[in-house]
Amino acid sequence: MKEEKLMVDGKRIDGRLPEQLRDIKMKLNVVTRANGSAEVKFGKTTAIASVHGPRALFPRYLQESGTGILRIRYNMAPFSVNDRKSPGPDRRSTEISKVIRLALGPTIFLEDFPKITIDGFAEIIEADGSTRVTAINALSLALAAAGIPMEDLVASCSVGKIDGTLVVDLNGKEDNNSEADMAFAMLPNKGVISLLQMDGALTKKEVLKLLQSAKESCMKIYEMQIKVLKDFYKGE
């Protein structure tokens, strides 16, 4: 049951319009011991991504002779949510780690790294909705910062339906009280969708409209990713 209205006079509880992303901040190389790292904030949702590798994979039986592998660990800090989250992996984080790996995998030339692993960690420091997509944006930047050969970046956002209105980038309250929400990721240049998950019920027309909004939002996020990478390498 909804506790409060999520849309009032065409605006959302945080004052945004339906198609408006939250304030987005991106920073590169925030972890000195990583080969590449990034911090991405969507409003209060904060993800720190750290990429290690390409490096030798042990134990050896995990190695694949014809290709490298990508390993991803998504983790939500105990203090990242209102009700303390018990530390350590759970079913949710295992599933999210897997879908993030599948969302990023298509862009990496893993076949160039037989027997090798690339390890990506996404730590959620503060969670206010859409943490998996924030983690994907941060990991995509961290992979690029680590110099991993990639075909494209991966840009990601959430979309959904709240109080009968189609919206982009759901915050925590919207996510928990939504009629439907979708997590979406794409390779912007290739036009390939690498993540599509949905909870709730939508008509076909609504799904198509949300896919269009998700693509447009991902293109905006992609522009920001490119800018932060260019600024970093120009030394700004």
The region of 21-29, 110-118, 169-177, 228-236 touching ligand CDP under the rule CB under 6 A is: 169-177
Query: Rounded to the nearest 5°, which phi and psi values hold at 55?
Result: -145, 160
Nearest to 144 by CA among 179, 178, 104: 104
Window of 55-63, 99-107, 122-130, 224-232 that interacts with ligand CDP by CB under 6 A: 122-130
Cβ pair 11, 105 in contact under 8 A: no
Query: Is the Cβ of residue 183 or residue 202 nearer to ligand CDP in the bound state?
Result: 183
Query: From CA 87, how far away is CA 165, in angstroms rounded?
Result: 35
DSSP summary character for residue 96: H
* Lookup: tokens for 97: 């780690």
Binding window for ligand CDP (CB under 6 A); candidates: 17-25, 125-133, 146-154, 208-216: 125-133
CB of 88 to ligand CDP, least distance (A): 12
Query: Contacts with ligand CDP: how many residues (CB under 6 A)?
Result: 13
**Which of 39, 119, 123, 128 touches ligand CDP (CB under 6 A)?**
128
Cβ atoms of 48 and 37 closer than 8 Å: yes
Question: Contact positions toward ligand CDP, by CB under 6 A?
Answer: 81, 85, 92, 127-132, 172, 175-176, 183
